[in-house]
Amino acid sequence: MIELNLMRLGVSVLSTAMLLGGCLAPDGAVASSDPVPVSPITVPTLSKPNIIIILTDDQGYADVGFNGSKDIPTPHIDRIANEGVRFDRGYVSFPVCGPSRAGLLTGRYQSRFGYDLNSSEDPTNPRAGLPLSENTIADVLKPEGYTNGILGKWHMGNHPIFHPHERGFDEFFGFTNGGHNYFADRYNDIAVADAKSSGQLYNTKLMLGTEQIETSGYLTDLLSDAAVDFVTRNKDELFFLYLAYNAPHAPMQAPPRYTDRFPDIEDPTRKIYAGMIAAVDDGVGEILDTLKAQGIDDNTLVFFLSDNGGPLKRAKNGSINKPLRGGKGDLFEGGVRVPFAARWPGQIPAGIDYPHVVSALDIMATAAELAGADIDNDKPLDGVNLIPYLNEPAFKTVPHQRLFWRYRENSQDDNSYPRVGMVEGTSKYVKYGRNEMLFNLEGDKGENDNLKDDDKKRHKRLKAAQQEWSDKMMDQQVPIWNTWSSPNTPNKR
């Protein structure tokens, strides 16, 4: 039942409606790429925590203070890293919105269920979304007594069978497609089910539960207010909040009260981008302050990350990923290595830079294990519970020996993968078409020096490991982004 404080949101309703077999730092050894089921752990003094995921959209690696931003201060986002853990080597499972979110929400490589490109946004297609065979974080937390809320961007399917209410969430306020206009007074009176293009979906009225409603104000502020309201209402119960801001994804829109904070930024696109980040940062501050005011700060685990790197080509938003190479859509570091931090006062160390590779896939595994949730043995997770690793003295054990990526051809009928990549320790293998590259990230964070011909043995081994992993994955099953009307084959759970 949705119980958002509608007056606070400026809304009037039109209608209701243990370590996981930890790996030592790799030194030439080849480990299996098979997933390992989450193992139960017992941590004295820990009760089930509330869990908050704050996800931004297309934010550059360098555009948070804790990664060195100077022109766009983010003091509240920085609190998560400064009072918790900064994951400098924090990765997502795909360099574009939809598949990255599918990996985050399921804790499994999205390639395991054929989601290697953004899905079609056709609201009439019951195949165009996160396959119903997969469980979300909300699905596994719900039986453990959690109230689950999602605010903002869903992007896991516009057909009613993919609605958040059907995927374990109790509350939803936001939009189901992949992007949105930020100014509510510009929304059109068109039903999501009747939309004929992604452009129309960008301007639909926001949804409260399953109903589209009238709203007023700036979208980022509405989502932040809704988050504060959700936390306040659920302070005495276990909750999971997935706050999926669409900022700073295009369209580039921010009111003067945010952009005026940046008189020294001359580039007009980056000035708007800075304003959009500032709005998010203010919201994060309000949420953290609310946790403290409600007395639940110490029992709430907060993750912050972006869904992929900042776009440097199509739909550029003024973001900066330096010193990383590439951006959104790339398998270079700038596409998959993102601002990433976690905070849980008293339960994980504060103010540390964690030195090892972690993945957005780990969030599901961490949440599930802390909650004591059951995981389907037929669908084991690819992530691990990070908490034991973060509390290990000297961080000698690594959560992942390897992470993998692949990016298929932009065609529904072409299952080739011209772009693939993997990381093993500080070694990174990338292939773009016939161009193969091997980097040592320890001394070459920007991936400038191709060592393929200098270390042929390592190149051959990593290439073989990436292919072995890819062979175990599934071809594209989800109708892709550039298709609209597709056969309505049932998508069974």
pLDDT value of residue 26: 38
Q: Quick check: 41 pLDDT over 80?
A: no
Does the residue 114 lie in any domain?
yes
The confidence band for 412, taking pLDDT boundaries of 50, 70 and 90, is low
The confidence band for 482, taking pLDDT boundaries of 50, 70 and 90, is low
pLDDT value of residue 414: 65
For 374-381, the CB contacts below 8 A with 24+ separation are: 374/140, 374/143, 375/37, 375/38, 375/140, 376/135, 377/37, 379/108, 379/112, 379/133, 379/134, 379/135, 380/35, 380/36, 380/37, 380/38, 380/108, 381/35, 381/37, 381/38, 381/107, 381/108
Alpha helix segments (H runs only) across 91-183: 97-106, 137-141
Per annotation, catalytic residue among 97, 165, 180, 459: 97
pLDDT value of residue 416: 67
Provide the whole-model pTM: 0.90
Instruction: State the average pLDDT over residues 127-154.
Output: 97
Structurally, the chain folds into a number of domains equal to 1
Share of the chain above pLDDT 90, in %: 82
pLDDT value of residue 373: 95
Instruction: State the average pLDDT over residues 434-463.
Output: 96
Does the residue 447 lie in any domain?
no
Rounded Cα distance, 199 and 216, in Å: 20
pLDDT value of residue 213: 96
**Backbone phi and psi for residue 16, each to the nearest 5 degrees, phi listed first:** -105, 175
The confidence band for 22, taking pLDDT boundaries of 50, 70 and 90, is very low
Domain region containing 319: 48-401
pLDDT value of residue 47: 82
Share of the chain above pLDDT 70, in %: 87
Does the residue 439 lie in any domain?
no
Q: Quick check: 109 pLDDT over 60?
A: yes
The confidence band for 13, taking pLDDT boundaries of 50, 70 and 90, is very low
pLDDT value of residue 469: 97
pLDDT value of residue 314: 76
One-letter amino acid at 335 equals G
pLDDT value of residue 411: 64
Tokens of residue 86, six digits: 């900064």
Q: For the domain that residue 118 is a member of, what is the CATH number?
A: 3.40.720.10
Give the chain's largest Cα–Cα span. Answer: 66
pLDDT value of residue 263: 97
Q: Quick check: 111 pLDDT over 50?
A: yes
- pLDDT tens digits, one per residue of 388-406: 999 998 999 999 999 999 9
State the DSSP code for 204: B
Does the residue 456 lie in any domain?
no
- pLDDT tens digits, one per residue of 349-362: 999 999 999 999 99
Does the residue 283 lie in any domain?
yes
Q: Quick check: 435 pLDDT over 80?
A: yes
Look over the chain and give the mean of its residue pLDDT values, rounded to a whole number.
89
Q: Quick check: 52 pLDDT over 90?
A: yes
23 catalytic residue (yes or no): no
Instruction: State the average pLDDT over residues 217-224.
Output: 98
Q: Quick check: 74 pLDDT over 60?
A: yes
Rounded Cα distance, 152 and 174, in Å: 4
- pLDDT tens digits, one per residue of 157-183: 999 999 999 999 999 999 999 999 999
Q: What does DSSP say about strands 207-208 and 211-212: parallel, antiparallel, or unpaired? A: antiparallel
Instruction: State the average pLDDT over residues 251-276.
Output: 97
Does the residue 281 lie in any domain?
yes
Q: Quick check: 91 pLDDT over 70?
A: yes
Does the residue 184 lie in any domain?
yes
Does the residue 478 lie in any domain?
no
pLDDT value of residue 36: 35
Ramachandran region, residue 326 (left: φ > 0; alpha: ψ -120 to 50; beta: rest):
left
Per annotation, catalytic residue among 155, 249, 356, 400: 155
